[in-house]
Structure 1
Amino acid sequence: MTDFLIRPATDADGDAIAALIEAAFSEYDGCIFDRAAEFPELDAVATHFAGRGGIIWVAQSGPDVIGSLAVAPSANEDAPAGTMELFKVYVARTARRRGVARVLFEHAFAHAEAAGAPEIRLWTDTRFTDAHRFYERCGFQRQPGARELHDLSDTWEYPYRLALTAAGAPNPSRPVPIES
Structure 2
Amino acid sequence: MSDIEIRRATEADLPAIVAMLADDPLGATRESPDDLAPYVAAYTALAADPNQHLIVAAREGRTIGTLQLTVIPGLSRRGATRSIVEGVRVHREGRGSGLGTQLIEWAIAESRALGCGMVQLTSDATRVDAHRFYERLGFEASHLGFKLML
Query: Which TM-score applies when normalising by structure 1?
Result: 0.67
Hey, what's the Cα distance between the residues in 2 that align with 1:77 and 1:13?
Answer: 35
Is residue 2:40 matched to residue 1:17? no
**SS of alignment partner, residue 107 of structure 2:** helix
Displacement of 1:41 after TM fit? 4.5
8 A Cα contact 2:73 2:80, kept in partner: no
Aligned to 1:108: 107
Is residue 2:118 matched to residue 1:134? no
Q: Let me know the Cα RMSD of the aligned residues.
A: 3.1
Hey, what's the Cα distance between the residues in 1 that align with 2:105 and 2:80?
Answer: 22
Hey, what's the Cα distance between the residues in 2 that align with 1:13 and 1:32?
Answer: 19
As a proportion of its length, which structure holds more helix?
Answer: 2
8 A Cα contact 2:8 2:55, kept in partner: yes
8 A Cα contact 2:46 2:54, kept in partner: no
- Stretches of structure 2 that go unaligned for 5 or more consecutive residues are none
- Stretches of structure 1 that go unaligned for 5 or more consecutive residues are 152-180
Hey, what's the Cα distance between the residues in 2 that align with 1:67 and 1:107?
Answer: 12
Hey, what's the Cα distance between the residues in 2 that align with 1:46 and 1:111?
Answer: 22
The superposition leaves residues 61-107 of structure 1 with CA deviations (integer Å, 9 ceiling, x where unpaired) of: 23421110121213788676311111221111210111211111121
Aligned to 1:97: 96
Hey, what's the Cα distance between the residues in 2 that align with 1:118 and 1:33?
Answer: 32
Query: Which TM-score applies when normalising by structure 2?
Result: 0.79
Hey, what's the Cα distance between the residues in 2 that align with 1:30 and 1:67?
Answer: 17
The superposition leaves residues 102-161 of structure 1 with CA deviations (integer Å, 9 ceiling, x where unpaired) of: 11112111111112211011111112121111111111111232323538xxxxxxxxxx
Hey, what's the Cα distance between the residues in 1 that align with 2:67 and 2:28?
Answer: 23
Displacement of 1:54 after TM fit? 2.7
Greater shift, 42-51 or 55-64, is seen at 42-51
Relative to 1, partners in 2 of residues 1:134 and 1:46: Cα closer, same or farther, differing over 3 Å? farther
Aligned to 2:49: 51
Which residue identity is paired with 2:16? A
**SS of alignment partner, residue 120 of structure 2:** strand
Displacement of 1:12 after TM fit? 2.0
